[in-house]
Amino acid sequence: MIHVTSMSEEKLNEVSHVMAEAFLAQEGIFPELGLSEERIAKYLKALVRFSVKCGEMYTVSEKGEGYIAYADSRYEKAPFIASARMLWESLDALGWDGFMKYTTLLSQAGSSQEQTFRSRFQPFINVSMLVIPEAYQHQGYMRMMLEEVFAKADEEGELLAQISSAKVQLIHLQNVESISNGVCLRNTE
């Protein structure tokens, strides 16, 4: 995989719209916000940009068949400027009321998956984003990217990978344990 160090506005828009469409099509916090797909995509664009700035984004090749953002649980804190920009862009995308509703819905959902993992497992790899543009779906790119994450987990001696997307559950892998709304995938060693 290729480490993504920058992304054009066009590619940021494409990836964020794919994510918005997927999130709005399933149960969860985003449909409950009652915001347009455009506003949700704008918010997700801030998250994609943040992942790139934090050095967590990877792609299959220069064609951009898929994108995955992941970090080791022992990662350094996010850069202040990237964090501040993400907060500003999130407020701009969701509006004050949407932002407050989003944070309320998150707090009602309980502790985040990452917090759950931090208390139960160490170390782990947190896969925060996995996006396959429509033109490349159903061609094995998701599996290829996840297999690379598992190989990195093996190489680093990590115990497991935590994945936020419910869609990943459709991939038939061994040792899958459901945690909250996400998936915990244990290495088979």
pLDDT computed for residue 110 by the predictor? 58
Given this model, what pLDDT does residue 112 score? Answer: 57
Cα dihedral 133, 17, 88, 111, rounded to 10, equals -70
Q: Considering only CA atoms, which of 143, 27, 44 is closest in space to residue 94? A: 44
**What are 73-116's pLDDT values in tens digits?**
776 677 889 889 999 999 999 999 999 998 888 777 655 555 66
Residue 168's closest CA among 133, 127, 139? 127
Tokens of 66: 């898929």
Residues 6+ apart with CB under 8 A from 134: 18
Q: What is the pTM of this model?
A: 0.78
Q: Is 72 helix (H, G, I), strand (E, B) or coil?
A: strand
